[in-house]
Chain A
């Protein structure tokens, strides 16, 4: 199991489009992927769940990866967050 903490960099937060990309990315790995925020525990492969997070700019999320490809998955997903969802910041 791998646990990471990340901060949302984008001005508009984790809105619909990056949420969709994140979910797609997460689904490409076999590992389970969960996001924790303010006591909520969300399956990172569920768009409706990720949308519910309302993660605005500056908010901190805890990520949990568990499964055979957890190292690759955590690297790829953390990079996605760090790069600001590949959008203009």
Chain B
């Protein structure tokens, strides 16, 4: 017994020593950095209740007035910065806060309370605004609870300014910023600080934080669940934005290993830069389509600088972010036209709204299984008016003839036909109204539901092209929610069933004479490039940060080799065998490439 206790104590002593731990998240922005963790937390002011003498009341009210002015100046600055960084529509979120600052009734009420109760301004401000905040928080409406955060933000800002505390930069320079979540305002403040990297518990590759991190070239790992409980302020970590990995308390050996990887990556990046203006063509002269996935018009400059030939997936949900309601036809038209104009002479595949699932959920629709529920084209087909508004906006933006339409979440032929019927009707309407549009606009179907994959030939016959959305396809094919940390390791993009399904879809579409693209994350996985090319894939549309790497691989191989690898992969039935085989083959052709484990 004594011995057992002793042993236990000994073990505990050992566990107090710094042990290397590895955490996995989403690789949201590439690069490898070493550094100290800086925990970003919301500033919550301390509020004391103080009595104010009668002669000091005017002074207290003046303090409150000044605080309102200062707060407004601060908010306007952040709003402008947001507009510059991520666009006007996203800056709307600060509108509500500025409106609250200018609420004349609220102002009057607070001034009267200060006079009547003879209490200090921050105490009254806190008392009064918290009332509203609590009412909002108790609402069943998710939108309203979100607004409660706005109210809290503005309250804390006001109180800080009453206390005349400066807005301390909440980011410490030369650290890796870690937070549960980052609001657009927080993220925008990155640009003012020298941040090494970003880690969050929530958010994915399409979140604002990811978008800004990429455009500022800050390595980022997002969606690292549970990480805030395991890592403390000032802990030493390695952030690997290429693979979505965080390593806490790295051993000497790990550090050495990662220093080498970091150097390799930097060298690799420099070599990639030289590829920007070269075409994506194999050693035996097969040219492959290589384009980018985007959500916001502000990303287009970046994709051009990465050498992208157009947009293989424009997620139109981008126009919904920061909006309370579905934008009007005119607003949508302006957004789509800006995308089409900026992408010209290249073309853009516009996916109609893919709302539901994990994206822009209408708070009134609560579902048991959102991923198996009301999402994608199902939402569009449920409201012909909603769908028609978007189609009209897209068609009107198509006058340069560089837009194609892509339908998400198709699971049956009937949905394809119904969508086409509505599209044709919309075209007829526009013709009757003498509004110009591209009459030969192409329409494609996203293959992300297994039933659609099995019907690939019939669906291809109905449309102009297919685009394989691998993120959902893998999820539906393997019955794995990739956000679920208990089973995250079952989510395997290189699962034999996934690769065989992709091969089947491409072959079936080619039989119908139609082209096939890929727009999921698998398209940017360097291990997948060889087999995908060998299967006959016509176009890769990838996260623009990954584009030069894919191009590099395409330019290093022959189609003949790719076909050989593809055939061999189709024979393998174990995911690990497939990975090992593909690593080996990739290393032969591009020895310097950094590969995910």
Contacts and interface: CB of A to CB of B under 8 A. Distances in A.
Interface of A: 10-12, 15-17, 20, 23, 27, 40, 43, 45-49, 51-52, 54, 56, 87-88
Interface in B109-131: 129
Contact of A52 (B99, B105, B132, B328): B132
B325 A48 contact: no
A11 B129 CA distance: 28
Contacts of A17: 95, 324
A15 to B, nearest CB: 4
B141 A49 contact: no
Given A48-B129, A49-B132, A87 B325 contact: yes
Give the bracket for the number of chain B residues in contact with chain A.
Answer: 20 to 34
Given A12-B324, A46-B105, 14 more contacts: A10-B325, A11-B325, A11-B326, A15-B143, A16-B324, A20-B99, A27-B104, A47-B100, A48-B129, A51-B96, A51-B100, A51-B132, A52-B132, A88-B325
The 8 closest A-B pairs by CB, nearest first: A46-B105, A15-B324, A12-B325, A54-B144, A47-B103, A47-B99, A54-B139, A52-B135
B320 to A, nearest CB: 11
Nearest to B330: A88
A45 B96 contact: no
Nearest to B386: A11
Contacts of B143: 15, 54
A46 B325 contact: no
25 contacts: A11-B325, A12-B325, A15-B325, A16-B99, A23-B103, A27-B104, A45-B105, A46-B103, A46-B104, A46-B105, A46-B106, A47-B99, A47-B100, A47-B102, A47-B103, A47-B106, A48-B103, A48-B132, A48-B151, A49-B105, A51-B100, A54-B141, A56-B141, A56-B364, A87-B328
Nearest to B141: A54
A49 B151 CA distance: 11
A46 to B, nearest CB: 3
B245 interface: no
A81 to B, nearest CB: 16
A47 B99 CA distance: 7
Contacts of B136: 51-52, 54
Most chain B beta-carbon contacts within 10 A, residue among A17, A23, A54: A54
The secondary structure that dominates the A interface is: mixed
Contacts of B135: 40, 52
Contacts, number: 62
B555 to A, nearest CB: 49
B105 A43 contact: yes
Interface string B130-156: 001001100101011001000100000
Interface in B248-288: none
A46 B131 CA distance: 14
A26 to B, nearest CB: 10
A51 B147 contact: yes
A49 B109 CA distance: 12
A20 B129 CA distance: 18
Nearest to A54: B144
A51 B328 CA distance: 23
A24 B151 CA distance: 19
A52 B100 CA distance: 12
A43 B141 CA distance: 21
Contacts of B147: 16, 51
Contacts of B325: 10-12, 15, 87-88
Contacts of B151: 48, 51
A15 B92 CA distance: 13
A51 B96 CA distance: 9
B374 to A, nearest CB: 16
Contacts of A23: 99, 103
